[in-house]
């Protein structure tokens, strides 16, 4: 950043100095104004008497006065000029020209041109040229900066889910190379953090499995009671969460080898629902699941996706859950809808992000880790399909798994 400051500072200083001297040479020296002054100076050599001086003051709107020779100190170069030309022209700090000639009585004649006698055209065009050229030079300096900032912005917006970003190709001399490097470092750190988080999730889920299995085994040996049933349910929920975490972290690491086969949709769904606890299945109705509807996909993963949606519906539905299938022009749709609270419009894309739970208090008692829908989204991606959510006619959410047309 210091480099940008220094280069811009130097650029402005050099531009100002360069422009001023260039325009001075082109516009102020050898201009018609200078020629006027020269010819006036030449004619002043013929002023002899005080009456001539008074006339100059009256008629030519010049400020002429006689000054003693001792009041004018000339530099050696001016002395030479004086002897050669008979006059000298010197400029005051505000650029007002003073012409000096020598009178026969040894005094000097000083003639000052009044400000309003000087042509304003040159000054006006001088200013216009100065500011136009300065604006052009500044644009020339800032344009590569703007171009590089655009590249950095594009890269920053291209952050992938794994934390990687598009590479930024800045020229080695670019002032923004340091920011590009910082962005690369940041991306690297995000990738490391995500990797650590995935490894941790995977390790924790792995470590949970053995004690969970032991607990389940011990629980099964306990005599039947309400307490035992409740504990068994909690254990099953814990088991499901651990499985979800494990599957999610695996799906983040790599795309699995799909074992694709033809799946009869109705049979698969019926078997899936039959495997759920009895008290839940009463809510679920299977509608429009046509015997002929089949799917070419990996059965294990399609079941996983459907089960995640049904489990969510079981958590949020009041009374009714409906599972149906539909064939459209773009492919086969598996739909799970319920009569629960539904999903607000602004949350519909976010709920598919990993670990996203819109309302902590509402979902905590539902026991979710926020991974169910992220896993469903992954599974759909592997199959070239999509998942989305809308409103159900039942009053709640309508989740749709779409699989591309399969001929
Ligand atoms: P969780 O493990 O928290 O259920 P999910 O990824 O399965 O995570 O779901 C994310 C969030 O989406 C849930 O916390 C919940 O707020 C919302 N959600 C999912 N399914 C439904 C549904 N059928 N009705 C209402 N909200 C739902």
The predicted-structure confidence for 334-369, as pLDDT tens digits, reads as follows 999 999 999 999 999 899 988 887 765 445 456 677
Closest atom, ligand 1, to C-alpha of 308: 7
Closest ligand 1 atom to residue 374 Cα is: 6
Ligand 1 contacts (CB < 6 A) are: 312-313, 316, 338, 340-341, 343, 351, 357-358, 363, 368-374, 396-397
Sign of the four-CA dihedral 212, 216, 222, 224:
positive
Question: Which residue lies with its CA nearest to atom 21 of ligand 1?
Answer: 312
How far apart are the CA of 335 and the centre of ligand 1, in A? 16
389 CA to middle of ligand 1, Å?
11
Q: Which residue has the tokens 């995000």?
A: 190
Say which range, 170-179, 219-228, 285-294, has the weakest mean pLDDT: 285-294
Q: Compute the distance from residue 314 Cα to the ligand 1 centre, in Å.
A: 10
List the residue whose alpha carbon is closest to atom 7 of ligand 1: 372
The pTM (predicted TM-score) of the whole model is: 0.58
Instruction: Give the closest residue (by CA) to ligand 1 atom 14.
Output: 357
Confidence of residue 40 (pLDDT cuts 50, 70, 90): confident
What CA–CA distance (Å, rounded) separates 220 from 216? 6
- Give the integer Cα–Cα distance in Å for 118 and 128: 18
Q: Which helix (H) or strand (E) holds 398?
A: strand 397-404
* H/E segment holding residue 98: strand 97-102
Query: Which ligand 1 atom lies nearest to the CA of residue 375?
Result: 6
Mean pLDDT lowest among 10-24, 64-78, 355-369: 355-369
Helices 372-382 + 299-316 axis angle, to 10: 150
d(CA 301, CA 279): 25
Note the helical H segments in 176-264: 177-221, 226-253
Q: How far is the CA of 395 from the centre of ligand 1 (A)?
A: 16
> How does the average pLDDT of the chain come out, rounded?
85
Ligand 1 centroid–CA 312 distance in Å is 6
What the block records as the tokens of 352 is 């598919």
Please state, for a pLDDT cut of 70, what percent of the chain lies above it. 92
Looking at residue 288, its pLDDT comes to: 73
Q: How far is the CA of 244 from the centre of ligand 1 (A)?
A: 14
For ligand 1, mutation pick of 363, 369, 379, 399 (most atoms within 8 Å of CB): 363
Q: CA 119, 122, 124 angle in degrees (round to 5)?
A: 105
Report CA(346)–ligand 1 centroid distance (Å).
Answer: 14
Please name every residue paired with 90 in a beta bridge, in sequence order, or none if there are none. Answer: 98
The preferred substitution site among 373, 392, 399 for testing ligand 1, maximizing ligand atoms within 8 Å of CB, is 373
User: Which contacts (CB < 8 Å, 24+ apart) does range 146-151 have?
Assistant: 148/174, 148/175, 148/176, 149/176
Tell me the CA–centroid distance for residue 352 and ligand 1, in Å. Answer: 9
User: How far apart are the CA of 373 and the centre of ligand 1, in A?
Assistant: 7
pLDDT in tens, 184-221: 999 999 989 888 888 888 888 888 888 888 998 888 88
- CA–CA dist 144, 288 (Å, integer): 61
The burial of 57, by beta-carbon neighbours within 10 Å (0-12 exposed, 13-18 middle, 19 or more buried), is given as middle
Written as one string, the DSSP assignment of 312-370 is HHHHH-SS-EEEEEEEETTEEEEEEEESS----GGGTTGGGSTT--S-HHHHHTTT--S
| CA 343 / ligand 1 centre spacing (Å) | 8
Q: Within 13 Å and on the Cβ side, how many CA atoms surround 252?
A: 24
pLDDT, position 115 = 58
Give the separation between CA 263 and CA 266, rounded to whole angstroms.
9
CA 58 to chain centre: 70
CA of 9 relative to ligand 1 center, distance in Å = 56
370 Cα nearest atom in ligand 1 = 8
Place of tokens 């779409």: 402
Distance CA 312, CA 283 (A): 13
Report for 27-36, 80-89, 330-339: range of highest mean pLDDT: 330-339
The best mutation among 312, 321, 322, 395 to test binding of ligand 1, ranked by most ligand atoms within 8 Å of the C-beta, falls on 312
> Which atom of ligand 1 is least distant from the CA of 357?
14
d(CA 261, CA 238): 31
pLDDT of residue 362: 47
Choice from 368, 374, 387 to test ligand 1 binding pocket (greatest atom count within 8 A of CB)? 368
């Amino acid at each position: 950043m210091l480099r940008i400051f220094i280069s811009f500072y130097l650029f402005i200083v050099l531009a100002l100095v360069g422009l001023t001297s260039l325009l001075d040479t082109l516009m102020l020296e050898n201009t018609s104004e200078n020629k006027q002054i020269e010819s006036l100076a030449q004619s002043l050599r013929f002023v002899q008497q005080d009456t001539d001086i008074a006339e100059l003051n009256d008629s030519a709107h010049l400020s002429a006065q006689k000054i003693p020779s001792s009041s004018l100190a000339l530099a050696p170069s001016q002395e030479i000029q004086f002897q050669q030309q008979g006059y000298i022209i010197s400029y005051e700090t505000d650029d007002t020209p003073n012409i000096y000639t020598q009178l026969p009585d040894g005094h000097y004649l000083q003639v000052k041109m009044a400000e309003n006698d000087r042509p304003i055209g040159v000054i006006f065009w001088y200013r216009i040229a100065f500011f136009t050229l300065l604006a052009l030079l500044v644009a020339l300096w800032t344009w590569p900066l703007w171009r590089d900032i655009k590249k950095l912005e594009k890269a920053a917006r291209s952050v992938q889910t794994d934390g990687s970003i598009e590479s930024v190709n800045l020229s080695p001399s670019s002032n923004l190379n340091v920011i590009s490097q910082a962005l690369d470092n940041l991306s690297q750190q995000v990738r490391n953090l995500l990797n650590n988080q995935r490894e941790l999730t995977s390790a924790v889920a792995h470590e949970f499995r053995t004690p969970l299995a032991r607990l389940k085994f011990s629980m099964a040996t306990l005599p039947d009671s309400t307490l035992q049933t409740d504990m068994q349910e909690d254990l099953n929920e814990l088991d499901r969460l651990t499985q979800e975490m494990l599957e999610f972290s695996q799906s983040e690491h790599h795309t699995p080898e799909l074992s694709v086969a033809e799946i009869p949709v109705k049979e698969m769904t019926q078997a899936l629902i039959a495997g759920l606890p009895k008290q839940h299945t009463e809510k679920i109705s299977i509608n429009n699941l046509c015997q002929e509807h089949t799917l070419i996909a990996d059965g294990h993963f399609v079941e996983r996706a459907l089960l995640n949606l049904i489990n969510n519906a079981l958590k949020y539905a009041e009374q009714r859950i409906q599972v149906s299938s539909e064939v459209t022009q773009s492919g086969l749709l598996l739909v799970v809808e319920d009569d629960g609270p539904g999903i607000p419009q602004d949350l519909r894309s976010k709920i598919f992000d990993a670990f996203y739970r819109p309302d902590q208090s509402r979902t905590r008692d539902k026991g979710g880790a926020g991974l169910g829908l992220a896993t469903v989204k992954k599974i759909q991606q592997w199959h070239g399909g999509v998942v989305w959510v809308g409103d159900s006619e039942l009053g709640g959410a309508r989740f749709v798994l779409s699989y591309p047309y399969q001929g």
